């Protein structure tokens, strides 16, 4: 029986799925929501996640396996709390788990842990990746072996406060009509534990070649970066946050600028939306989450997936999550 559009697991709450194919299997790297119903605010204090469980599928019709705890906050020296949406990559014969968390000063940073198997366990580096900030790392290894990390997010709580490369607690959101705050991209060094050069902003342009503006809430970046490549085109996809869409923009370069193209996923049950896109056996799939399992509780989510389809011009057909 197909698992599509059904919770992959029900014994724990999972969200923010980053899916990859390793050794012929699909591995999903989600955040692990706690079974606590806390009050929502712009800082995301209701998301008090402490560890990661890696999920895997032997096939699309197989029962999803929870491979157990792969990394816990207590084993990461620099972390104080809130281990949020992770991602993973394979290079140099090792698997790398990238994750955001608050450091001892309460600021979000990006860390990395290394393992010998895709499901872990992972051993974290003693410190976060220098030069990184904020949340939602997504790591893309290109055909030439170069690796790029995309990160950033959370309007009102994080994103606009890092736009100048340092944390500015009193920084305000850009005004209406001004370019929206951007996420970041940084090339990783070959060790996959450090960045090469200075991070760059991920610029998203409209159909007229102008930057998407701060008040364009249907199209501006909010959080949840993802990168995939289809027919030599780079697809940068993300969540719009306040309007609850997964949308995408394309470029011929992994660092952009990117031109907005359309929506991938209409709103789901729950406030947040976060996704990944992966090719498996010649077809493409969207992994995402909603709050259906918890009857709409924002911080108790479940991971699902569904097939995505491309039009001849490379655009992606919009998915309505509750319509077959």
Hey, which residues are catalytic here? Answer: 16, 223
Strand pairing category for 25-33 and 51-57? antiparallel
Select from 31, 14, 33, 262 the least CA-distant residue to 135.
31
Does residue 24 come out as left (phi exceeding 0), alpha (psi in the -120 to 50 range) or beta? left
| Residue pair 185/139 in contact by the 8 Å Cβ criterion | no
Nearest Cα to Cα of residue 245 among 212, 267, 276, 215: 267
Residue 9 carries which DSSP code?
-
Nearest to 38 by CA among 13, 55, 17, 18: 13
Q: Are 124 and 98 in contact (CB under 8 A)?
A: no
Radius of gyration, alpha carbons of the chain = 18
Backbone angles phi, psi at 292, to 5 degrees: -60, -40
For 92: left if phi > 0, alpha if psi spans -120 to 50, otherwise beta; the answer is left
């Amino acid at each position: 029986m197909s698992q599509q559009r059904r919770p992959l697991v029900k014994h724990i709450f999972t969200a923010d799925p980053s899916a990859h194919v390793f050794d012929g299997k699909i591995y999903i790297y989600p955040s692990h929501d706690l079974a606590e119903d806390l009050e929502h605010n712009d800082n995301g204090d209701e998301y008090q996640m402490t560890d990661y469980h890696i999920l895997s599928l032997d096939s699309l019709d197989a029962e999803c396996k929870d491979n157990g705890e792969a990394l816990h906050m207590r084993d990461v020296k620099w972390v104080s709390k809130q281990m949020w949406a992770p991602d993973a990559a394979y290079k140099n014969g090792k698997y790398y788990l990238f994750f955001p968390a608050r450091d001892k000063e309460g600021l979000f940073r990006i860390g990395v842990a290394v393992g010998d198997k895709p499901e872990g366990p992972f051993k974290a580096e003693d410190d976060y990746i220098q030069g990184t900030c904020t949340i939602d790392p997504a790591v893309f290894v290109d055909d030439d072996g170069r690796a790029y990390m995309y990160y950033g997010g959370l309007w009102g709580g994080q994103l606009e406060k890092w736009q100048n490369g340092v944390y500015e607690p009193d920084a305000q959101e850009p005004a209406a009509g001004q370019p929206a705050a951007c996420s970041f991209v940084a090339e990783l060094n070959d060790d996959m534990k450090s960045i090469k050069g200075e991070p760059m902003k991920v610029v998203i342009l409209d159909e007229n070649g102008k930057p998407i503006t701060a008040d364009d809430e249907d199209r501006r970046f909010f959080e949840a970066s993802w990168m995939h490549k289809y027919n030599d085109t780079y697809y940068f996809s993300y969540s719009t946050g306040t309007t609850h869409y997964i949308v995408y923009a394309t470029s011929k370069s992994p660092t952009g600028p990117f031109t907005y193209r359309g929506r991938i996923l209409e709103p789901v049950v729950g406030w947040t939306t976060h996704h990944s896109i992966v090719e498996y056996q010649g077809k493409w799939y969207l992994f995402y989450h909603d709050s259906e399992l918890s009857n709409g509780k924002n911080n108790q989510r479940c991971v699902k997936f569904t097939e995505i389809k491309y039009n001849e011009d490379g655009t992606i057909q919009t998915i309505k999550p509750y319509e077959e």
